Amino acid sequence: MGILSLLLWTPAAGVLLLVFIPGRNIHIIRSIANLFTTLAFLLSCWLVNLYDQHNAALQFGEYFPLNPGLGSAYALGVDGISMPMLVLATLLTSITLLASFTLSSSVKGYHICILLLEFGMLGVFLAQDWALFYIFWALTLIALFFLIGRWGGKRRHAASLNFVLYTMGGSIFMLISLLAISQYGLERDGSLMTALHLAAQEMPRYKQILVLLGFLIGFGVKMPVFPLHGWLPLAHVEAPSPVSILLSGILLKMDAYGLIRVVAMLPEAARIIQPLLVFLALSGMLYGSLLAWRQSDLKAMAAYSSVSNMGIVLLGIAALNETGITGAVLQMTAHGLIAGALFLLVGLLYERTHTCNIQDYSSLVQVMPRFALFMTVTLLAAMGLPGLVGFIAGLHAFIGGFQKWGGLMVFFSMSILISAAFAMRTIGLLFTGPVKPQMQLIADLNAPEFLAAGALVAGIVLFGLLPAPLIELSAATIAQINNQISQRLL
């Protein structure tokens, strides 16, 4: 078994083991689940150590034919775009379980769903076959549906149903696009993903546009792209706080990852609909930041902030140049760390106070200094403060956009100002003013919580001050993708 299969099947092995553990043995269930998520994280770190960042080709490839007639196969591989996503997925899953120790209802089912969700996420980033990609992508939807519907808040059933209707509707468009490409003489001696890339070049231009629009809807629902984001705020508010870490931190990135792959496959169509992509990016950035600024619910604020941040990712992709795509990949990683830390800290605060209304808090810096430090750094990173990872990512995306559209980027910069306004407003309401009587006895972060939040905040600061390793990890692959796009657009 190769290292990629070992990484992929580690959480699945945890699921199989948990199935045979009686549900009353809560301590054993937690220990096993944490053990397998930690193993997956360590394997991903080992993979980074083995990965040759100067080699743009797929590495550690594994290939086993499944349906020779169709061309589908158990095909795995990793490159500079999927590599940071793998580490982020395993890290956030481990932190999610650390933040789930207070869960007391159906502990066994919860941990099985989390491990299945990790299995699906890893499969999406490792799959080098579109059929395999689609299967893993659908698996994440099923796991997330049960996590929201079973362990969510008062409106969990509406949130889970809303989520599955949106995402399954989007997946239909994705499937139609895949089937449309498959009609164009797929090669039978390679993986389906390679065959689809070759077949896409033979399609008439108008069909390429229709196929790309289908992928845009399919991926845009869960990315989310404005105005297909309707499921997101309710899902975030009603989902268990630890699940929101994964939902915003990594699950949204799966669709951005898929969109990058599709744009590289259909660059001519992407150039034709480039004005639409730019409009959607600008709308999402402004709309998300404005609504985040207006929210009184902390989880809803973080959810709308995600819409704005994913708009930056779409902006980088729409630029169709090396700097823009670099910004998109960096923003995916940066937002994963920032959103993960934000939802973790908001969830820990909610467990102590049972309210997410920002008006109920004041001067928490006096009673929760460790929480105040981590929350302030996270919010400053969300607004793109220099020295933190959000600035590096956003800067690349905006430079890529400026190279393409010049003065139009003035409109995009407005979203940065609005993001700064909601971040400073939140810091002011949470940490200034007199201490309210009901908030005087709130406990600060304990050791496990400090470790979980500290790991994410350390990543935010470290990659903000020393971004070169993160940039270089993806540079060769992004340069190759940019060359492929440039050659097709000549």
**Residue 187 confidence (pLDDT):** 54
Which tokens sit at 38?
């930690």
**Residue 190 confidence (pLDDT):** 53
Q: Is residue 304 part of a domain?
A: yes
Q: Is residue 364 part of a domain?
A: yes
Residue 398 belongs to domain spanning: 273-490
**Residue 13 confidence (pLDDT):** 94
* Overall domain count for the chain: 1
Q: Is residue 186 part of a domain?
A: no
**Residue 211 confidence (pLDDT):** 86
Q: What is the dihedral of CA 133, 249, 145, 105, to 10 degrees?
A: 130
Amino acid identity for residue 264 in this structure? A
**Residue 458 confidence (pLDDT):** 93
Closest by CA position to 377, among listed 417, 423, 422? 423
Q: What is the dihedral of CA 307, 378, 126, 181, to 10 degrees?
A: 20
**Residue 195 confidence (pLDDT):** 66
**Residue 193 confidence (pLDDT):** 67
Helices (H), 51-155: 82-98, 107-126, 130-151
Q: Is residue 352 part of a domain?
A: yes
How far does CA 353 lie from the centroid of its chain?
Answer: 28
Q: Is residue 237 part of a domain?
A: no
Q: Give the count of alpha carbons within 13 A of 150, CB side only.
A: 18
Q: Is residue 341 part of a domain?
A: yes
Beta strands (DSSP E) in 170-280 are none
Closest by CA position to 297, among listed 372, 362, 239, 355? 355
3-class secondary structure per residue, 328-362:
HHHHHHHHHHHHHHHHHHHHHHHHHHCCCEHHHCC
Q: Is residue 199 part of a domain?
A: no
* Per-residue DSSP letter, 434: P
**Residue 18 confidence (pLDDT):** 92
First to last CA, the chain: 42
* Per-residue DSSP letter, 226: T
Q: What is the pLDDT along the chain (490 residues), one digit of tens a residue?
A: 789 999 999 999 999 999 988 878 888 999 999 999 999 999 999 999 999 888 888 888 888 877 766 667 788 999 889 999 999 999 999 999 988 887 878 889 999 999 999 999 999 999 988 888 888 988 988 898 889 888 887 888 888 888 888 888 888 888 888 888 777 655 545 556 666 677 777 778 888 888 889 888 988 888 888 787 778 777 877 888 888 888 888 888 888 898 898 888 888 888 889 899 988 888 888 888 888 888 888 888 888 888 888 888 999 999 888 899 999 999 999 999 999 999 899 888 888 888 888 888 888 888 888 988 999 999 999 888 888 998 888 888 888 888 888 777 777 778 888 888 888 888 888 888 777 777 777 888 888 888 889 999 999 999 999 999 999 999 999 998 888 888 877 6
Q: Is residue 328 part of a domain?
A: yes
Residues across the chain: 490
